[in-house]
Structure 1
């Protein structure tokens, strides 16, 4: 089974692209969705101990956690030490199930693929990109997003130009949904053709 890593900086259209892979019948593990789920369950006790005051009604209050990390960026490492092993376990379980079900390709949607050093866990890498102005417009249109927060997030991400340099495939979402969808189909066909050889 081919493990296809999907990544891209904030606002590049990664989630939309991941859904396109699902629409083509592939299993796509969304690391962000797994984290959200962990914030409502398994990760709560450890985060409560590490970041007191960030748990509200039995789950992680993302705004409170984000505010803490904004003023204490050195604590990102601590959060990653708590969350990454839990995400990895879910990923391994989902990969095993997909393999048992006979899947030939699985998509691992990992926003911080390069930043977390997890590219060794995938066979091929798709980077989703777009023009920086389109990215900026998309991100600043999100509820609660500010220039300052956007700058902080970008500062933690590998630059887009570097991601594209390290990619096996690139999808430019700035060229529209139809273009992105045809690229998704082209990538799947290419992987399956190589797999047959």
Structure 2
């Protein structure tokens, strides 16, 4: 089974690409890390309790406000849902305090999300899927690129396009808040460069500065190439002969380790020239 690692940055169109890949004619299974990230912090979960314990004392509006339909212990007695806007203000930004808060949240959420992702991958593997899309905003940062046969980065060349889309999507954000959210993530142009450095057949950048028709055409071309390089019959061989599947997965993982090593060497070389 081919793992397509899908990533991007905020307001570059990753969710749009994900929805296109999930719909006909592709109909690919989507393993959305954001969906799992919300699931593992629902009221009553271990992640929810950890977030409330750490952020609650210093974030008065961390939980949804109490109303007639939202009692103090939540609608199901497990607690009121998290106020994501309030939590977002705590973690987005470039200051050391915001970075520390963001790291704490990641340490709470990421391990639980990983467990859910692994279970979903296994189910799709047993189901005989030709490919599965790992929709992970922090694909490189969290190391999921090491499992991906192909990494797909959805990017825009013009930073102004990214800001315009973000403020149109989330009109409640001030310009400063929107800027903080963009700056809290790795620059999408750098992600695109890293993706291209993986080499032909292992990394593809979907530039999304234009229309939706142009976006679909770019996706069509990328998926056609993936099918040529990893045809469905190869997936069935790996499924029917697990040792071959394990060996193929190990080979991809080893290649990606070397790809990341070369990328770090390239980064170090470029920094030394500054």
Normalized against structure 1, the TM-score is what? 0.91
- What's the RMSD between the two structures over aligned residues? 1.8
Counterpart check, 1:143 vs 2:171 = yes
* Partners of 1:111 and 1:100 in 2: CA distance: 26
Deviations 1:97-135 (A, max 9, x none): 111110111111111112333321322111111232221
**Deviation of 1:8 (Å):** 0.9
Higher CA-based Rg? 2
Q: Partner of 2:266 in structure 1?
A: none
Using CA pairs under 8 Å that are at least 6 residues apart, name the structure with larger relative contact order, 1 or 2. Answer: 1
How many residue pairs are counted as aligned between the two chains? Answer: 197
Which consecutive residues of structure 2, in runs of 5 or more, have no partner in the other structure? 65-73, 196-202, 235-274
* Partners of 1:55 and 1:85 in 2: CA distance: 23
Does the CA-based 8 Å contact 1:6-1:108 persist in structure 2?
Answer: yes
Counterpart check, 1:81 vs 2:83 = no
Counterpart check, 1:46 vs 2:34 = no
* Partners of 2:186 and 2:84 in 1: CA distance: 23
Which consecutive residues of structure 1, in runs of 5 or more, have no partner in the other structure? none
Deviations 1:126-162 (A, max 9, x none): 1111232221111111232222122222222111221
Q: Hey, which of these two has a bigger chunk of strand by percent?
A: 1
Counterpart check, 1:193 vs 2:267 = no
In structure 2, do the counterparts of structure 1 residues 27 and 101 end up closer, same or farther at CA, with 3 Å as the change threshold? same
* Partners of 1:89 and 1:79 in 2: CA distance: 16
Return 51-60 or 77-86, whichever deviates more: 51-60
**Deviation of 1:20 (Å):** 0.6
Q: Partner of 2:144 in structure 1?
A: 118
Choose which of 147, 150, 153 in structure 1 pairs with 2:181: 153
**Deviation of 1:25 (Å):** 0.7
Residue aligned with 1:89, SS? helix
Q: Partner of 1:22 in structure 2?
A: 22
Does the CA-based 8 Å contact 2:3-2:132 persist in structure 1?
Answer: yes
**Deviation of 1:64 (Å):** 2.2
Q: Partner of 2:241 in structure 1?
A: none
* Partners of 1:119 and 1:156 in 2: CA distance: 20
Counterpart check, 1:69 vs 2:91 = yes
Normalized against structure 2, the TM-score is what? 0.67
Q: Partner of 1:132 in structure 2?
A: 159
Choose which of 55, 61, 70 in structure 1 pairs with 2:63: 55
* Partners of 1:63 and 1:159 in 2: CA distance: 22
